[in-house]
Structure 1
Amino acid sequence: MNEGLVVLVRSIIGFFTLLIFAKLLGKQQISQLAFFDYVLGITIGSIAASLTTDLSSRAWPHWIGLLVWAILGYLMEYITMKWRYAAKYIEGEPTIVIMNGKIMEAALRKMKYRVTDIMELLRNKDIFDLNQVDFAIIEPNGQLSVLKKPEYEPLTAKDMSITKTSTGISTEIIYDGILIQENLRQLNKSNNWINKQLHAHGINDISEVFLATLTPSGSLYIDKYKDHIKKVTYIGDYKGPY
C-alpha cells in the first residue's frame, strides 16, 4: 500500500516536471525531431520512468537528472540558434540526394538510405514518377524537400490570372457509419439533404458509409466500407531471394 502511494506521488511529480520542461524546450521536440532531439526526448523520458517506478532509490537524484538534461537540452537549442557552425555539427546539414534528376548514390550510401526509402518519401510528396524530380534534399530532421522539374510544376490561379474563392476545410459529417448531427447543422445541411446525396451515390443507409466529409463550398467526399476494387495494386519492395 505504501509503495503504491509512493509510485502515485512520484508519477505526479514526474508528469508535471516533464510538462514544465516540455514547455521550456518548446515545440521543436515534436515538430522537427532531429537525431539529437530524439535522443534527448528518450533519455528524459527514461529518467522520468525511473523516477516513477524505481523505489529502491530516493526520488531527488532522478529529479536532479531530469533537471540537468532539460537544462542541457535548452542550452543546446540556444547554442544552435546563436551559432550556425554549432548547429551544423549538432543538428546536421541538408543533403542533396537527387540533383538535376539524377540519383546521388554516394550521398545515399553515406546517409545509409536505400532508393526505396527515397521513393517512399517521394510518394509522401505526391510524386510517383522519378522523371518529375529536379532536386530532392534530405533535411536534418529526416524529411524530404522536393523541387519538381519546371514542366511538372502545377499552374496556379495566379499564373492564369484567375481569382479563386476559398473552399474551406473539410468537416466530417459521417464517421464509421454514424451521422454527426452537430457538424451537419454547422454546415446548414439537413438529414434530408444528406440522405438525398447518399441515394445519388447508390447508398441506401448511413451504416454503409465509412467516412463522409463536406467543405463549406459544397464539395462532398464519400467513402464506403465496400469499395469494390477488383484489383489492388501492389507497390511493395522486391522481396528477392532468401
Structure 2
Amino acid sequence: MQEPLVVIVRAVITFFTILLYSRLIGKQLIGNLTMFDYINGITIGSIAATLATDISSKALVHWIALTVFLVLTILLQFIGVKSRYLSKIQDSEPVVLMQRGNMLEKNLEKARITKDELMQQLRSKNIFSPIEVEVALLEPDGTVSILPKSQYRPVERGDLNLPLQPSKLTTELIYDGKMIGQNLEQRKKSKDWLMSQLKMHGIDSLEEVSYAAILPNDQLYVDKFDDHVADDMNISDYEGPY
C-alpha cells in the first residue's frame, strides 16, 4: 500500500502545482502557439507526469525542474513584451510566401514549405487559383494568412462596378513609442506627415503612442498608452490577480 499512497500524494501535489503555474503563465490563445511554445508545453507536461509517477527518484528534483521551466517561460514572456526585437528572435515574424499571384521560391525554401503544401493551404481558404492571391503570409504560429486580390473578394467593389483599389496590408509605423522608419518609407510617408497626423489626434510625442499603423484604406490608426478607456465592457466577476 505504500507505493500507491506515495503516487496519490505526488499526483495531488503535481495537480495543484500545474494549476498554480498555469495561472502564473497567463492566458495565451492555443491557436497562436509557436513551435517553441508547443514543445515547451509538452516538456513541462512530461516533467509534471514524471513528478507524479516516478517514485524511483525524489519528487523535489522534478519539482525544481518544473519550477525552472516555469520561471524561464515567464521571463521570456516579459522579454517579448518589453522588447519587440527580442520578441521577433523568440517567435520569428511573418514570411511572405506569395505576392501578386507569384510564389516567392526563396521564402518558400527558407520556410521549408513545398509548393504542394502552399497550394493545400490556399485550398483550405477556398482559393483554388494562385492568381487570386495578393499576399500570402506564413504566420509565426505556422498558419497561412491570405489576402485575396480586390476583384476576387466576395461582394466587393468589383461586383458593384466601382473603381478597384489595390489590396494593401496594415503597416505598423509606431511600436511602443518607437517609429519604424522602414515601414514609413515603404508607404511613401515622411516623419513630418506622421507627426502632423499625430497632432490631429492630440499627440505631441512618439512616446505617448503604444501602437500606430496605416490601415489598408490609408487611414492612420493610433492607440495611446494612456487611453482613458472605461472598463464598462468587463464581464468578469473575479477579482483575483490573474
Interval of TM-score (by shorter of Structure 1 and Structure 2): 0.5 to 0.7
**1:51-70 Cα deviation digits (max 9, x unpaired):** 01211111112111111111
Distance 1:17 1:60 in 2: 12
Deviation at 1:29, TM superposition (A): 6.3
Deviations 1:25-59 (A, max 9, x none): 22326231102211210111111011012111111
CA contact (8 A) 2:100 2:131 kept: no
* 8 Å Cα contact 1:29-1:37 kept in structure 2: no
2:23, 2:123 → 1: CA distance? 34
Work out the CA distance in 1 between the residues paired with 2:116 and 2:12: 44
2:218 counterpart residue number = none
Residues 199-234 of structure 1, C-alpha deviations (whole Å, 9 max, x = no match): xxxxxxxxxxxxxxxxxxxxxxxxxxxxxxxxxxxx
The answer to whether the 8 A contact 1:137-1:144 is kept is yes
- Structure 2 partner of 1:9: 9
- Superposition RMSD on alpha carbons, in Å? 1.9
Runs of at least 5 residues in structure 1 that lack an aligned partner in the other structure: 161-242
Q: CA 1:24 to 1:79, structure 2 compared with 1: closer, same or farther past 3 Å? A: same
Alignment match, 2:38: 38
Cα offset for 1:10?
1.4
Question: What pairs up with 1:1-242 in 2 under 5 angstroms?
Answer: 1-28=1-28, 30-155=30-155
Residue aligned with 2:98, SS: strand
Please say which of residues 80-89 and 19-28 is displaced more in the overlay.
Answer: 19-28
**Cα–Cα, structure 1 residues 121 and 20, in superposed 2: closer, same or farther, change >3 Å?**
farther
Q: Deviations over 1:164-191 (max 9, x none)?
A: xxxxxxxxxxxxxxxxxxxxxxxxxxxx
What amino acid does structure 2 have at the position aligned with 1:9? V
Task: Give the 3 Å change call, closer, same or farther, for CA 10–141 of structure 1 in structure 2.
Answer: same
Q: What secondary structure, in the 3-state scheme, does the structure 2 residue paired with 1:28 have?
A: coil
TM-score (norm 2): 0.61
Identity, in percent, stands at: 45
Q: Which amino acid aligns with 2:63?
A: W
Which is greater in Rg?
A: 1
What is the CA-CA distance between 1:14 and the residue it aligns to?
A: 1.4
Partner of 1:93, secondary structure, is: coil
Give me the TM-score of the superposition, normalised by structure 1: 0.61
The CA distance in 1 between the partners of 2:15 and 2:48, in whole Å, is 8
In the alignment, the residues of structure 2 paired with residue 123 and residue 93 of structure 1 have an alpha-carbon distance, to the nearest angstrom, of 23
SS of 2:43's equivalent in the other structure is helix
Unaligned runs of 5+ in 2: 161-242
Matching residue's letter, 1:116: D
Q: Using a 3 Å threshold, how does the CA distance of structure 1 residues 20 and 133 change in structure 2: closer, same or farther?
A: same
Between Structure 1 and Structure 2, how many residues are aligned? 159
* Structure 1 residue ranges, 4+ long, deviating more than 6 angstroms after superposition: none
* 8 Å contact kept, 2:14–2:51: yes
The 1-side partners of 2:29 and 2:53 are apart by 25
Counterpart-to-counterpart distance in 2, 1:94 and 1:20: 33
Confirm or deny: 8 A CA contact 1:35 1:141 kept in the other structure.
Answer: yes
Helix, strand or coil: the match of 1:19?
helix
Counterpart of 1:98 in 2: which secondary structure? strand
For 2:239, the equivalent position in structure 1 comes to none
Contact 2:150 2:156 in 1 (8 A): no
Secondary structure (helix, strand or coil) at the match of 1:48 reads: helix
